């Protein structure tokens, strides 16, 4: 159709005949004027948006009313965010961006949070400027790194993938900006896959598969994309996610149109349309995608009338987008927001100056108060230091007295032991002499304990290993045995003096009995003692390899076992320790005892 015929259609045939006498110069002027008027009329029209989804709007209103009632600023920010999502779904990016900025004013003051990261991603999606888009996506990435949040990383990695699919160069018209980098976009989605699998997030896995399939489709690999979309469709069907299922059916329809299989494409497209008709979906982008699919289908089938109808619808959508971008509404909102930020910063600086003046006055008062406190602290420190020195001298003196007491007790016990030794030599009766010698061993055990207390660092505790070894060695030496093999396996334990005394008397009695009854005429005598600590329980085992106890003495309740003085002394000391002890006779005498430290 020629330009002349188009003008005839615009003005009508009769009207055009009236102007047929106009010269060619006038004709060209009139033609230019008409085209400019048509263009201005079209551009002056307001963009047409989809109707707001009522259930989303109702939910946003509910959250808003709750936030106002509770005076909850965080809930108010969430309400603003929901309003932005609702308007974004209708295609009104200007209104959506305005709500997002309102939410941003509240959340930015509160520092890092998942909600702020999510909002940065939404604002990035509404941007048309490369620099602003990159700034918001990097802000979201910084929050995700600091929070190390799974949900935040899912948003950020998905946004990075979307960022690299955009043609910021505008088909080479802006060569200093990057073109689409589909390999980078695919990299971020594949990086996201193991994270989603780890958290078993099925819905996000489906969304990620949709993203990978879309990139493969854009990369002119529709067959590979069909595989991803089909697998995702199975998961979405199992999860009964109608929105994801509809999106996947549309993607499959698009892929089959690309491989020129319109029948399969129509099957998927009609299924998607059925879901859309029975569901509350009224999304701007979904509607646009439907129009594009119908246009591609009818174009492929050769139904030019239908194809032209959907082409007009698509052109109307593109015109709306052009008007929005032409007006630069989003850019102006950014400038307004930055101006408000500057005003807020100036106001904050004024408040800061006033606070600093007040702070200086308070600091002067605090200096005087702190000076007074320091003076009092210095006096108190001096007093405490004097008291500390005095208490230390007293403690050292008491320690010296305790050591001196242990030394004197040790000396006295050595004297008693010597007297008993002299007395035993004067006795003729063998029974009496043995009784005196056994008493000497008992006194000697107490003397060894006090020597350990005197020589050791602890005033009221003794090392169990060193004390037992010295005691047993002393008894064996007194009996004149040199070939006895002693085996010590004792944990490094510090015992209180009272417990060590009772334990020393028990070990002394058992060692004496072994030397008297187990080792004479034994070719290879062995004496073994082990000590193990389990939590607060001490388990002590003393054994020899002698002939063992007679059958009449075996058993804790044996009356013969309680007749001897040594055995009664052992039982007394066991009771003193609140311990449990028992004898056994297998490959020698074995005594096991356990008590709480």
Shortest CA distance to 47 belongs to which of 327, 452, 334? 327
| DSSP string computed for 69-129 | HHT-HHHHHHHHHHHHHHHHHTT-HHHHHHHHHHHHHHHGGG---HHHHHHHHHHHHT---
Higher pLDDT, 346 or 513: 513
| DSSP string computed for 457-526 | S-SSEEEHHHHHHHHHHHHHHHHT--S-EEEEEE---EEEHHHHHHHHHHHHHHHHHIIIIISTT-SS-E
User: Which range among 37-46, 76-85, 231-240, 260-269 shows the weakest confidence by mean pLDDT?
Assistant: 37-46
Higher pLDDT, 94 or 367: 367
Three-state SS at 591 = strand
pLDDT of residue 33: 46
What average pLDDT score do residues 508-516 get?
Answer: 84
What average pLDDT score do residues 302-325 get?
Answer: 77
Over residues 87-134, the pLDDT tens digits come to 887 778 888 888 999 999 999 988 999 999 999 999 988 777 889 989
Distance CA 149, CA 137 (A): 16
Does 332 have pLDDT greater than 70? no
Given a contact cutoff of 8 angstroms between Cβ atoms, the answer to whether 281 and 241 are in contact is: no
pLDDT of residue 333: 59
Lookup: tokens for 19: 């102007």
Contact partners, residue 383, CB within 8 Å, separation at least 6: none
What average pLDDT score do residues 561-579 get?
Answer: 79
Phi/psi of residue 509, each to 5°? -65, -45
Contact partners, residue 175, CB within 8 Å, separation at least 6: 169
pLDDT of residue 438: 65
The percentage of residues in the chain with a pLDDT greater than 90, rounded to a whole number, is: 13
* Paired strand residues for 534: 537
pLDDT of residue 407: 63
Distance CA 501, CA 506 (A): 9
Lookup: tokens for 217: 């489709």
* Paired strand residues for 474: none
Burial class (CB in 10 A: 0-12, 13-18, 19+), 163: buried
Higher pLDDT, 396 or 171: 171
Q: Over the chain, what is the mean pLDDT?
A: 79
What average pLDDT score do residues 398-403 get?
Answer: 64
**pLDDT band (50, 70, 90) for residue 453:** low
**Reduced to 3 DSSP states, what percent helix, strand and coil does the chain have, rounded to the nearest 5?**
75, 5, 20
What average pLDDT score do residues 327-343 get?
Answer: 60
Distance CA 23, CA 12 (A): 19
Distance CA 53, CA 283 (A): 8
Distance CA 425, CA 445 (A): 20
Over residues 277-300, the pLDDT tens digits come to 887 666 667 878 888 888 888 888
Distance CA 180, CA 196 (A): 25
Does 30 have pLDDT greater than 60? no
Contact partners, residue 135, CB within 8 Å, separation at least 6: none
* Paired strand residues for 540: 531, 593
* Paired strand residues for 490: 531
* Paired strand residues for 487: 528
Does 38 have pLDDT greater than 60? no
């Amino acid at each position: 159709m020629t330009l002349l015929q188009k003008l005839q259609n615009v003005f009508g045939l009769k009207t055009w005949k009236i102007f047929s006498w106009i010269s060619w110069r006038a004709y060209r002027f009139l033609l230019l004027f008409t085209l400019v008027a048509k263009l201005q009329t079209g551009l002056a029209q307001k963009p047409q948006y989809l109707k707001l989804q009522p259930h989303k709007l109702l939910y946003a209103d509910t959250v808003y009313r709750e936030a106002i009632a509770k005076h909850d600023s965080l809930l108010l920010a969430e309400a603003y965010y929901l309003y932005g999502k609702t308007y974004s779904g209708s295609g009104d990016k200007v209104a959506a961006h305005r709500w997002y900025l309102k939410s941003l004013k509240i959340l930015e003051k509160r520092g890092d949070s998942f909600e702020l990261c999510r909002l940065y991603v939404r604002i990035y999606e509404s941007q048309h400027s490369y620099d602003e888009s990159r700034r918001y996506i990097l802000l979201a990435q910084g929050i995700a790194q600091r929070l190390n949040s799974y949900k935040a990383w899912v948003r950020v990695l998905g946004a990075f993938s979307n960022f690299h699919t955009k043609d910021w160069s505008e088909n080479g018209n802006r060569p200093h900006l990057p073109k689409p980098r589909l390999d980078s976009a695919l990299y971020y989605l594949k990086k996201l896959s193991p994270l989603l699998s780890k958290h078993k997030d099925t819905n996000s896995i489906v969304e990620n598969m949709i993203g990978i399939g879309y990139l493969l489709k854009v990369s002119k690999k529709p067959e590979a994309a069909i595989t991803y979309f089909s697998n995702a469709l199975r998961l979405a069907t199992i999860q009964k996610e109608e929105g994801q299922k509809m999106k996947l059916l549309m993607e499959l329809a698009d892929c089959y149109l690309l491989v020129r299989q319109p029948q399969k494409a129509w099957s998927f497209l009609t299924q998607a349309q059925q879901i859309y008709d029975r569901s509350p979906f009224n999304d701007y982008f979904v509607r646009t995608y439907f129009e594009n699919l119908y246009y591609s289908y009818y174009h492929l089938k050769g139904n030019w009338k239908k194809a032209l109808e959907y082409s007009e619808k698509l052109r109307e959508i593109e015109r709306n987008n052009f008007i929005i971008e032409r007006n630069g509404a989003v850019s102006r909102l950014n400038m307004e927001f930055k101006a408000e930020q500057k005003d807020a910063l100036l106001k904050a600086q004024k408040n800061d100056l006033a606070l600093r003046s007040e702070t200086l006055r308070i600091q002067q008062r605090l200096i005087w108060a702190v000076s007074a406190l320091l003076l009092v602290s210095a006096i108190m420190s001096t007093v405490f230091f004097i008291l500390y020195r005095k208490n230390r001298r007293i403690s050292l003196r008491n320690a010296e007295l305790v050591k001196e007491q242990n030394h004197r007790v040790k000396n006295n016990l050595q004297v008693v032991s010597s007297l008993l030794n002299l007395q035993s030599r004067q006795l003729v009766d063998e029974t009496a002499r043995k009784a005196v010698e056994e008493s000497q061993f008992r006194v000697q055990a107490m003397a060894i304990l006090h020597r350990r207390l005197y020589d050791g660092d602890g005033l009221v505790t003794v090392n169990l290993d060193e004390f037992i070894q010295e005691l047993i060695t002393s008894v064996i030496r007194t009996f004149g045995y040199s070939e006895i093999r002693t085996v010590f396996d004792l944990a490094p334990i510090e015992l209180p003096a009272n417990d060590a005394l009772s334990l020393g008397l028990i070990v002394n009695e058992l060692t004496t009995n072994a030397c008297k009854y187990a080792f004479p005429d034994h070719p290879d005598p062995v004496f073994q003692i082990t000590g193990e600590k389990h939590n607060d329980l001490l388990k002590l085992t003393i054994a020899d390899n002698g002939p063992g106890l007679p059958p009449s003495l075996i058993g804790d309740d044996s009356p013969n076992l309680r007749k001897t003085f040594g055995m009664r002394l052992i039982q007394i000391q066991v009771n003193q320790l609140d311990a449990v002890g028992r004898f056994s006779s297998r490959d020698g005498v074995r005594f096991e005892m356990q008590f709480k430290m």
